[in-house]
Amino acid sequence: MGRSGREAVLRRLPELRKRLSLDFVVVNVDNAAHGFGITPDMARQFFEAGADVLTGGNHLFDQREIIGFLETERRLLRPANMSSSVPGKGMVEITAANGRKAVVIHLIGQLNMPMAGDSPFRLTDCLLSEYKLGENVSAVIVDFHAEMTSEKNALGRYSDGRVSAVIGTHTHIPTADERILERGTAFQTDVGMCGDYDSIIGMHKSAVERFAKGYKCGRLFPASGAAILCGALVDVDDKTGLASSIVRIKIDEASNDSTV
């Protein structure tokens, strides 16, 4: 979220990959460029820092220069359940650092979202029809960019046992419900943002005026204080492709406190 969160990820990711022996890293970059989408140069920086796949969301197309980049860079995903006429793809197969095949699927919710797509549930069935965990794919990670916690929970249950992890994004607030569902899928309703939490979900606290006055007043701009980096660490069983653990990541850039 904004420069604060972007620079925290770029600074911390190389060390995290090494210290935690990470085989595969997915970063949601929907708000990387001043809170609105991402630019091609920023995307390249994330790849250079150690991200394997980048996912977007409802703000991905706010930076117009990203359209051409989406057509050539398969590792940057837009939601798969958007119209097929939209540039880019919503799913990618990548060989992880351990040599195993990983699939990332990016979906957007339909409830209270400004860019509602086709049913993420029907599309999940379609996209997973050719993949079976532990057989022709070692891991399947789903980034579900959605507003409603109920819709995120429903997709987690719907996908349980068929994917390695369903991780929610979009609301910028990390939820304390990380767990392994009964059929073996790791789930967290929302992984939270990487950015300045002394804010209104990453925007400067002057955004309070919009709520107090009841109308849009002034431009929104990101908070620029020290970031908190939030994420999730998922361990996947090599034989089954199902999750064996999920742990919340929280690193406070100001105090250097860390939960991982």
15 C-beta neighbours (distance < 10 Å), count: 10
Helix (H/G/I), strand (E/B), else coil: 160: strand
Which residues carry out catalysis? 59
What are the angstrom distances between the C-alpha of 243 and each of 103, 119, 128, 176?
Answer: 14, 25, 17, 18
- What is the distance between the alpha carbons of residues 168 and 186, in angstroms, rounded to a whole number? 11
- Name the burial class of residue 222, with classes exposed (0-12), middle (13-18) and buried (19+) by CB atoms within 10 angstroms of its CB: buried
12 residue type, one letter = R
Closest CA to 92 of 84, 100, 80: 80
Q: Are 254 and 226 in contact (CB under 8 A)?
A: yes
Helix (H/G/I), strand (E/B), else coil: 54: strand
